[in-house]
Structure formats: structure tokens, C-alpha cells
Homo-oligomer: A and B are copies of this chain.
């Protein structure tokens, strides 16, 4: 048994009074990537955001199993007062309450009382589980792929989920491993790596992708970027602990400087690959890059194919926009290498 969050499924997704789809990104992610796990949505009267799931009324929560997952973000990451009565009803019904908000559900007295009565759990996925050990660097069986980035917010979670799905479609044995809050909800387990005390970052990554069958792929959600002055340490700890056999570099084609730190230029694709390979060799000497996943939504569509071809030329690797092209060429590349 490893030290990660373990969520109870199925999920009832809480949308509450959310007014714009942009605030329900978590809910949409859950419904998109885990349609089989999401059995209902809980919306207040007047809520027009729709995940396409069956609606459930507060009075009917007692029929549900598993967890009520908060699928919306409020301004400031709070739990709105207007949500509390419904969350209390869910907890009283024995549903675990799962949140990735800044304010912790485990700190709300009404929820604590309800959960105590029913035995439900209050799980804040931003909070790392206790007792994460220091990393050992010890090799473990199974294959691992880590998505890395030229920056933050370039599609590392999306790419990892798309790779897991494509591997499953090809009959490969694969598990998405989540290192961030939304990913943890989707996966039903994981650790918010960036919230771990830095002495334990690589140890947390080791817990995240435990020993597995030789032919099994863990597809690990990356965080930050080695070149990022704010988050490089998070990325290096995750890289060392994941000891990936393969990395996929994620990149936003419209970006010139780092998001929010524009004075820092983005590294070139080959520089970012080389630096991940160089640093990753410490725990896995066989690490190699198997593709580049590019977000092309910010560039002229007419330029898209030429740009991907340029990238392919530059890196010698399959370069795809996962939303448009899928990640098939990356899986092909892995399969060819393994023959």
C-alpha cells in the first residue's frame, strides 16, 4: 500500500450555483475523462452549466454511493456559504466530500459534525497524505512515462490522460498517475506534488508510481518545468522520483516567455528535452524522449501543420497537437522502439 490519496467512486459532481463554464473546469474534466465514474451532477436552481450528466436533487443524495466531488472553483478558492447545506446533506448520507479548493472541507465544523455521524471522509486533495518517506532512488519494475514542459500550464495533465486513453485503446496496460488536484480527482488517487515539503518531493513521486508489472505503463502527470525559476525544484523532484523510461515534452506554441514571468524566454524544445534527459539519467539511465505535445490553439491555424513539421525536423520526434491529431504517433513511436 503506498501513501497516496484514495478516493471512493462513483462520483456525484457538485456544481452548485456556478454561473460560467470556466469555473467548472474540474467538473468538465471529470465528465470528459471519467464518464463511467461520474454518475450524476448536483446543480442548484438556475445553474445553467451542464456537464451532460443526470441531475440529482439534494433530497436524493442518500441514494448515492462513493463521493461528492466539488467540480467548481469559486473566486478565491472558498467554499461558499450557500453550498454548505447541500454538502452537509451529502456527508450525512455517507458520501465522502472531495475538494481541491484552497479552503479545506476538513476544516468546516458543520461538515466535520456530519461526517462524524455518518463515517464519511472529508478529503482535501491539495493536502498531501501524511508520512511520505524520503526518496531512495531505488529502481522499481514497470515502465514509466512522465509529461514534462517548456513551462507551466502547457497541457501536461491533458497529454498524460490522452496517452493513457490511447494506450488503453491499443490494449496496453496503463495507469494515469496524478500529481495535481484535478488529476487526483480524475484518477481517484494521487498526491499534489507541489504541496509536499521539498525534502520529500522525490519520495512522493516514488509513492505515486509504485512497482508494477514489467509491461505496465504508468503515465505520470508532470508539474512545472525544470527551467522555471519558481517551480524548477518541484519538477526535478518529480523527475527523479518518477524515474521515467520515457518523457513527452509539452509546449504551447504561442508562448514566447514563461507564463507570468515573460522576461524569462521559453527554452528551445531540444534544450528542454536535453535538460530533462540529463537530470533524469540520475535515476534512470535509459530515459529518452518519445514525442512532443503541442498546444497550437494560440497560433494561426494555417501555420499549424508547417509548425509541427518544423518541430518534428528540429527534434526528430513525433510532434502532435493532442486535441487535433491525438497522441497516436507518440504511441506508434514507443511501439516501434520496443520492437
**Which residues of chain A have a CB within 8 Å of any CB of chain B?**
134-137, 193-199, 201-203, 226-227, 229-238, 240-241, 261, 263-264, 275, 278-279, 282-283
Contact = CB atoms under 8 A, between A and B. Distances in A.
Closest 3 CB pairs of A and B: A137-B229, A233-B237, A198-B198
Given A137-B261, A236-B236, A278-B275, A283 B199 contact: no
Contacts of A237: 198, 232-234
A236 B230 contact: no
Number of copies of this kind of chain in the complex? 2
B230 A233 contact: no
Name the prevailing secondary structure of the A interface residues.
helix
A233 B198 contact: yes
Nearest to A205: B233
B229 A240 contact: yes
10 contacts: A136-B230, A194-B198, A197-B197, A197-B198, A198-B201, A198-B233, A229-B282, A230-B240, A232-B236, A264-B282
Given A198-B198, A201-B233, 10 more contacts: A136-B261, A137-B229, A194-B199, A227-B282, A229-B241, A229-B282, A229-B283, A232-B282, A233-B235, A278-B278
Contacts of A236: 226, 232-233, 236
A138 to B, nearest CB: 8
Contact of A193 (B198, B229, B232, B279): B198
Nearest to A227: B282
